[in-house]
Copies of this chain bind each other. A is one copy, B any other.
Amino acid sequence: MDQIKVFSPATVANVSCGYDAMGFALETLGDDMIFTKTDSKGVIISKIEGADLPYDSDKNVAGAVAQLMLKDSKANFGLDIQIFKNFKPGSGLGSSAASASGAAFAVNQLLDKRYPDLELTKFAMQGEVVACGSAIADNVAAAIYGGFILVRSNEPLDIVNIPTPTNLIATIIHPQIEIKTEDARKVVPTQIDLKTAISQWSNVGGLISGLYSNNFDLIGRSLVDLVAEPNRKKLIPFFDEVKHAALKSGALGAGISGSGPSIFALSEGLETAKQVEYAIASVYKKSDIDFSTYVSQISKTGTRIQ
């Protein structure tokens, strides 16, 4: 195989109660990437469409991951990478994770799949270091494993794949404002009440139980975030209105995607998810903020060959 075209999904990290521990991948929103083997060693980024990202392959997330894997595997070829971004960086939908995971997945295909998913996640986490300075696992693990994932432990890295009810549909709204990850982190307290923590882990337990048992009501009851959302929501205009509109339209729950500004909702069934999309779009239509909305199944496979 000399060339491969891959799709790498957008991802929702945190998922309300699962702050810094859970994530899921979208089926239909994500980046397209083409990787072509070259005779000369080294990695070239030859095309980037849809976003203003660095062509320097040390500074480009996908380039950095690819270089790392070629070096680790002592590959006798180089790579040309083309990146087609279908959603914007800074959305809170794991843009850098999509680039990093897409690269990890694609290079592994070109290396005859020598690395298991856990190792691919570790490589992709190095892409997150290039993007934001931290080796954050939740988005890249969701992108690589697909479905819902739990980062049980960062050190050693332990990723648990959680089954996802087929009829669970995500609705996303991305208001096009900028929130710096650093600012989003800063507003979350470094210490929390034990009582708050107990509620949060009870809800994580409920969400995971609901996913295993196809119990949509339980999933909905568990989509509660007492840690990040109360502090971060002030960074997102109309957050409360959007959440209220989503729930009123039948969503099981709604919350901030990653560190925002995107907001996600989960619904049982496509019809409800589309009603939720209409309702939350209506909130932003009244403002002068540009926005995009997406409705998508949860991706079962994550990164995949196109």
Contacts and interface: CB of A to CB of B under 8 A. Distances in A.
Contacts of A17: 201
Interface in A10-29: 17-22
Contacts of A198: 19-21
A205 B161 CA distance: 11
B197 A190 contact: no
A266 to B, nearest CB: 17
Interface residues of A, number: 39
A202 interface: yes
B20 A205 contact: no
Contact of A197 (B22, B162, B197): B197
Interface of A: 17-22, 150-153, 158, 160, 162, 188-195, 197-206, 208-209, 212-213, 218, 221-222, 227
A189 B192 CA distance: 11
Contact of A21 (B191, B202, B221, B227): B202
Contact of A191 (B152, B191, B203, B218): B191
Contacts of A199: 153
A31 to B, nearest CB: 28
Given A150-B209, A208-B205, A191 B188 contact: no
Contacts of A208: 205, 208-209, 212
A205 to B, nearest CB: 4
A160 B211 CA distance: 13
Contact of A153 (B150, B195, B202): B202
A160 B218 contact: yes
B202 A150 contact: yes
16 contacts: A18-B205, A19-B201, A21-B198, A21-B202, A22-B205, A152-B206, A152-B221, A153-B202, A153-B221, A160-B209, A190-B193, A192-B192, A197-B200, A197-B227, A200-B201, A204-B205
